[in-house]
Amino acid sequence: MHGHQHTITIDPITRIEGHLKVECVLDDGVVKEARTGGTLFRGFEKIMVGHHPTDAPILTQRVCGVCPIAHATASALALDDAFGIADRIPDNGRIIRNLILGANILQSHILHFYHLAALDFVDVTAVANYRGDDAALQSIRDFIGRGELAPFVPRYEGDYRLSAKQNREATQHYALALNMRRRSHELLAVFGGKMPHQCAIVAGGVTSVPTSDTIGAFLSMLNEVRQFIDSQYVSDVLMVAKAYPDYFEIGAGPGRWLAYGGLDLETKPADLLKRKRFFASGRANGGLQATDVDQARIAEHVRHAWFADETSNKHPSQGETEPEPGKAGGYSWIKAPRYDGAPHEVGPLARTAVAYARGNRGIKGEVNRLLRRFDAEAGALNSTLGRHAARALETKRVADAMADWAMQLKPGEPVAAPFTVPDEGAGMGLTDAPRGALGHWIEIEGGHIARYQLVVPTTWNASPHDDADTPGPMEQALIGTPIRDAENPFEIVRIVRSFDPCLACSIHLATPKGDRITECRVV
């Protein structure tokens, strides 16, 4: 017997990348059912068919303007596999791929915390009466004073706990983070050429040639970003965690984590899941026990997605993208990837859980110190704040490692392996993007792409119910959450944003003076 039921629909969820609708059914103020739905059909798999294989790293970057590098990386890895050169990539090529992807991870994580998620916890409007001499705070104060509140609204009122001083400091860091994100883009462009959509990562390695000058420029910019991470980012996340300790108990996902691994530390063996990688490959359960990943056990379900039912429960290498808008029972343009039939969470928390379960002493030490600081058990990681903490700790680890990798570059040595494009072939590229496990599968016939499938991180996390009606990870994280005020459901958006969902970014074209060239509206 049910008590008082209430349905909450938030469409669209703001301050994320893409188009996401969330519907929750409350029973006596607690979420009993949840549905997360992607509301835009992309169809990149269809776009790829017929193109020359070497076009793939360029075209697939257009999936996202925020995190294009992981797509270039996964695509290049798939081509390496299909061309039979996966274990021949020169060290310079491997390292530069890592530096480009690493720079993108830094900007993405900084963007997520400060400019997307932090506004759920930091009251930026607290600077409205600021009378100090900080230029950034004055600018934001004037912005608010003119009534130009975007991007600081829409927001959910009623649960801001930081002190006035903490709000001002966090707002100041919000402005500083914009510069650090820009600096991370510039860092990426040293070897990637430009951002978004770098032009260096290709089959066989990269097109960039390292010199002492480019290495020095890279390290100089990287040190700026590292200083910000050490001085502001990590401490700001901990400050939020101290003020909102109950969010270590809210937003638990399925307690099953998956990581393909990424940022290769060697070029052999050809099997990506058996290589030594900075991000470890593996699966972890709620007891933080690790097992290997067997990609053959992955399948995508579409019972509740707007795709043809006959395409359901297929491995991505045999996957098809056949849209069926309005299909009975469907509520999302996202498929439901499953490993051994079960939903798995991916992302920084998953990578942290896998590394912890694998026995990585550095990560175990960091996590255990964090848990002691908040008098929490390991299970507290599976939470809204656990995701933010894991992302911050990962940002520092990646930035510090990049300094070592840059020093390993050897000017004058090769950056790419030669190859011949086969008339027939197939390949798989597995890596970890900022938001989690990313896989590309390619099939070549007649020297052109005959099949291309992508399973992206948010497809795992924001997936709808699967063929067995099991909710996806984000849906499970919402179920069981008490909602203080159904008219002001800030708990829902805080949980959703902790996953850093990215469904469909947009790319805007503008002249050098900032004039828009064209504008398209998707309805």
At residue 25, the pLDDT reads 98
Going by pLDDT thresholds of 50, 70 and 90, the confidence category of residue 153 is low
Compute the average pLDDT of residues 244-250.
Answer: 96
What is the average pLDDT score of the chain?
A: 93
Q: Which two tokens stand for residue 265?
A: 């530390």
Q: What is the pLDDT of residues 447-465, one digit of tens each?
A: 999 999 999 999 999 999 9
Q: What is the CB neighbour count within 10 angstroms for residue 58?
A: 18
Percentage of the residues of the chain whose pLDDT score is greater than 90? 81
Q: Which of 345, 340, 349, 337 is nearest to 465 (CA)?
A: 337
Count of C-beta atoms within a 10 Å radius of residue 459: 24
Q: Please state the rounded mean pLDDT for residues 179-201.
A: 96
Q: Taking Cα atoms as reference points, which of 184, 193, 183 lies closest to residue 214?
A: 193
- Encode 82-92: b = buried (16+ Cβ within 10 Å), e = exposed: bbebbebbbbb
Residue 104: DSSP 8-state: H
Helix axes 135-145 and 164-192, enclosed angle (nearest 10): 110
Lowest mean pLDDT, pick from 138-152, 246-260, 359-373: 138-152
Locus of tokens 């470890």? 280
Side by side, the strands of the sheet bearing 436-445 are: 425-433, 436-445, 448-455
> Which among 477, 504, 453, 372 has a CA at the least distance from the CA of 45?
453
Instruction: List pLDDT tens digits, range 35-69.
Output: 999 998 888 899 999 999 999 999 999 988 888 99
Question: What domain count does the chain have?
Answer: 1
Q: What is the pLDDT of residue 1?
A: 45
pLDDT, average across residues 102-131: 91
Q: Which residues on adjacent β-strands are paired with residue 342?
A: 339
DSSP H helical ranges for 233-360: 234-243, 348-358
141-155, 173-187, 275-289, 294-308, range with the lowest pLDDT: 141-155
In a domain? residue 128: no
Q: Between 180 and 128, where is the model more confident?
A: 180
* pLDDT for residue 520: 55
* Assigned domain for 35 exists: no
- Domain span holding position 91: 41-112+178-239+249-476
The answer to whether residue 370 is domain-embedded is yes
**Residue 519, pLDDT score:** 61
* Contact of 347 with 457, CB cutoff 8 Å: yes
Mean pLDDT of 402-413: 98
Q: Is 136 left (phi over 0), alpha (psi -120 to 50) or beta?
A: alpha
Higher pLDDT, 17 or 74: 74
Please give the Cα distance from 267 to 93 (Å, whole number). 10
Question: Is residue 505 scored above 70 in pLDDT?
Answer: no
In a domain, 130, yes or no: no
pLDDT of 295 higher than 60: yes
Maximum separation of any 2 CA atoms in the chain, in Å: 73
Decide if pLDDT at 2 tops 90. Answer: no
Residue 469 main-chain phi, psi, to 5 deg = 65, 25
Query: Which pLDDT belongs to residue 523?
Result: 45
Domain-located, residue 411: yes
Q: Establish if 211 belongs to a structural domain.
A: yes
Residue 53 resides in a domain = yes
Take residue 235 and report the two structure tokens written for it: 């401490």
Report the C-alpha gap between 115 and 376 in whole angstroms. 27
Does the pLDDT at position 512 exceed 50? yes
CATH number at residue 300: 1.10.645.10
Q: Which pLDDT score, from 0 to 100, does residue 508 have?
A: 55
In-domain check, residue 390:
yes
Q: How much of the chain, in percent, has pLDDT values that exceed 70? A: 95
Does residue 147 surpass a pLDDT of 90? no
Under 8 Å between Cβ of 127 and 140 = yes
Residue 65 is predicted with a pLDDT of 81
pLDDT of the residue at 223:
98
What is the arithmetic mean of pLDDT over 253-279? 96
